[in-house]
Amino acid sequence: MTFEQDELYREAQSFVRGKVIEEIFARLERRTIEDWKRSDPASTQNRDDAYHLMRAISGLRTELTALAAEPTIDQFNRRLKSV
């Protein structure tokens, strides 16, 4: 693993564990759900936008978590290969 990769993983781990990012995700999710609830059922574009935004938030959270866990997974896989 290069120094740059190690730094990237460390930053990702710090970011994912931080309270700020969780608060940002929670606020985005609450706001999006409230927008969806208040939207007119006939307004399919607004409802579709809310759906896609929720999927994007979830995808971002998943990618951040995966990046933060990558070194742990790599270490585990190396141990399996050496057995």
Q: What is the pLDDT of residues 33-72, one digit of tens each?
A: 999 999 999 999 999 999 999 999 999 999 888 888 887 7
0.75 surpassed by pTM:
no
Contact 60, 46 (CB under 8 A): no
Please give the residue that has the higher pLDDT: either 3 or 21.
21
Cα separation of 53 and 46, whole Å?
10
Cα separation of 43 and 29, whole Å?
20
Biggest alpha carbon distance in the chain? 59
Cα separation of 61 and 57, whole Å?
6
